[in-house]
Amino acid sequence: MMDKKQGQILEGYVGAFCNMPVTDNVSYKNQLFTFVEKKAADPTTRIHVMEIGNPAPGAAKFKRTAELQYPPDVQGDFPVIIHPVEKYGVIYVITKFGYLYVFEAASATLIFRQRITDSWIFASVSNPKTGGAIAINRNGQMLAINVDENNLIPYIMNQCGHIADNVGLAFKLAQRHSLPGADDLFKAQFEKLFASGDFKGAALIARDAPGTLIRNLDTINKFKAAQATGVQPVLVYFSTLLETTKLNEIESVELVKPVLQGGKKELI
């Protein structure tokens, strides 16, 4: 780290820097370093995701570690490329023998492993337009590696039975990166918190849900109709959103209406 004049020698293969949210504070992008470690005296290969910047306010320094397991029939393979994909919260690791590993960054959990070429891959670059990568193998083939945005969350929920809480992991990933595919989970969690009177928690779920799934006129009217002591629930909704994001068109109009009706244009 040049700004702090710090250094450390690591035993391993590949590493990369990135900025992405990996905690419940989805509005905070953690400054991370991820690398694949293989110590000389240890037969285990590990992937590390560690925070090198300042953690989010009130949070501890982030670090996750997991074993990188090669297929049982593969001998002598090792990582040659690593790509953190900030858009989707995943990390690509590509090995010499052409295997692609996809890890969920916040837990360092393996969600996908597949051989993508029989020829050795020797070069790769990130593709910022798609949130993927482009690789070239020894035969001169160009390989495009991309996430199917509409299928990532359903895939984790339905195909990743090897993960203990795959549905919970999918929900957190969708929440941090506003990904489609977990609409029912967002709605259920929102209704649960709203029914319990946790209006701020419900507003946070609305904030993190994709698009206008929850952030719509029906939700605003629901908050308007809610009864609570102290601050009006609808004001809790708006203030919670404005802490970390901007209001959408529907929310902006609904917030301005009572101000105009009261003849207080100067407040806008």
Q: pLDDT, tens digit, for every residue of 128-148? A: 888 899 999 999 999 999 999
Sorted by sequence, the CB contacts under 8 Å of residue 134 that are 6+ apart come out as 124, 125, 127, 142, 143, 144, 145
| DSSP 8-state symbol, 2 | T
Distance from C-alpha of 167 to C-alpha of 182, rounded to nearest angstrom: 9
CATH entry 3.30.930.10 includes domain 183-267: no
> Residue 2's pLDDT band (boundaries 50, 70, 90)?
low
Q: What is the pLDDT of residue 267?
A: 63
CATH 1.25.40.30 residue ranges for the chain: 183-267
Distance from C-alpha of 206 to C-alpha of 186, rounded to nearest angstrom: 8
CA 262 from chain center: how many Å? 42
CB 153 within 8 A of CB 170: yes
What confidence tens digit (pLDDT) does each residue in 62-104 have? 999 999 999 988 888 999 999 999 999 999 999 999 999 999 9
Q: Please report, for the chain, how many H helices and E strands are present, in that order.
A: 7, 11
pTM score of the predicted model: 0.86
Work out the mean pLDDT of the chain and round it to a whole number.
92
> Any idea which fold 12-174 has?
Methylamine Dehydrogenase; Chain H (2.130.10)
Tracing tokens 């790769």 back to the chain, one arrives at 124
